[in-house]
Amino acid sequence: MLKQLESQMVVSQGINNLDERFFQVEVLSSTELEDWISSPDLLLYTPRGSYGYTDGEQVFHFPYSDIEVREQIEITEETDRLGYLPIMMFFPDVKDEFVSKAQEGGASLIELSDRAFTLTWKDRTMTFYPQELKIETAYSIENERIVTQQWFQLFAPYGYVESVRIEEITRTDLQTPVTFSTYSEFSNHVLEDPNSIVPKYTDQAFIQIHPNPIENEYEVVLKGIADDEVRLVQIRDYLGNVIHSHKEAKANNGVIELNGTSYPSGVLLILVYTQNGVYMETISKK
């Protein structure tokens, strides 16, 4: 009789001291078949090899060849680059600059209906759907075909952030191809920019705070945002922790009146949630 397999794990990624990206998988619980094929407690994947640990002791190490290392680094860098650039892609004038740079890099452009378009590099394609705030990417790695669909939401004044992602990986080397799907949702976006060095783009809609720094009562002025679009106003610190939620915040003639007496002193983030996206600005509390 087959046993049902269950597992719970935490997946994280980062950069090691060699400036290499690594992925770490911590297995919280896993159904064991036999001891010799049980999952280790901790899996670590780096460009140099993969490692497994149980109770703090290494149980396996599979080194990669130089070719594999080079391919992984190139794939990681390309994925990171393509993943960041589209964050402002739904602004019309930013699109032109992005497409121009992509064509300089060897991409071909195909214009579609409703302002949608496709960019193609060899076996990689990226299709942008401005009406749906969606990007679809497809590419191949060895015996796998990977198709990713991403939906975005406005996170002013920094552009658009990912809200939903569906990734499908199909094994093309099998007689009957098998597809693995992953569905992810993203929320609670906070961008650390205390020195205001990240480029901003308002697209004619943004918020202003008066006065700033604040002491007690202050105003959030809406520019290009209708009063009835406002759903919630939150105050957060730079770690993303919610300091205060103004759930009953209402806009009147483009102005939201709030009281920040209870806020802690220091630099904070104010986020105005609307039906069309999130608008963020930095504030200071005396």
How many CB atoms neighbour CB 158 within 10 A?
20
> Is the CB of residue 248 less than 8 Å from the CB of residue 214?
no
Q: Each residue of 10-32: pLDDT tens digit? A: 666 666 666 666 666 666 665 55
Q: Cα–Cα distance between 195 and 267 in angstroms, integer?
A: 11
Q: Is 280 a residue whose pLDDT tops 60?
A: yes
Answer CATH for 206-285 from 3.40.50.720, 2.60.40.1930, 3.90.1150.10, 1.10.10.1100:
2.60.40.1930
Q: What is the mean pLDDT of the chain?
A: 77
pTM tops 0.85: no
Q: Cα–Cα distance between 279 and 271 in angstroms, integer?
A: 6
- Helix ranges (H only) for the chain are 66-84, 92-104
Judge if the upstream peptide bond of residue 213 is cis by omega within 30 degrees of 0: yes
Q: Which two tokens stand for residue 9?
A: 């794990």
Kindly compute the dihedral angle of the four CA atoms of residues 61, 66, 68, 72, in this order, to the nearest 10 degrees: 100
Q: How confident is the model at residue 86 (pLDDT cuts 50, 70, 90)?
A: very low
Q: Which residue type does 7 have?
A: S
Mean pLDDT value of segment 99-120:
90
What CA–CA distances, in Å, run from 157 to 26, 176, 270, 281? 36, 47, 12, 8
Kindly compute the dihedral angle of the four CA atoms of residues 82, 87, 93, 97, in this order, to the nearest 10 degrees: -20
> Is the CB of residue 258 less than 8 Å from the CB of residue 214?
no
Q: For the chain, what is the largest distance between any 2 Cα atoms, rounded to a whole number of angstroms?
A: 70
**117-121 and 108-111 strand pairing:** antiparallel
Kindly compute the dihedral angle of the four CA atoms of residues 186, 192, 193, 195, in this order, to the nearest 10 degrees: 180
- pLDDT (0 to 100) of residue 141: 87
Domain regions of the chain by residue span:
9-190, 206-285
What CA–CA distances, in Å, run from 270 to 90, 191, 219, 234, 277? 24, 11, 12, 6, 14
Q: Each residue of 211-256: pLDDT tens digit? A: 999 999 999 999 888 898 898 999 988 777 888 999 888 999 999 9
Return the higher-pLDDT residue of 137 and 37: 137
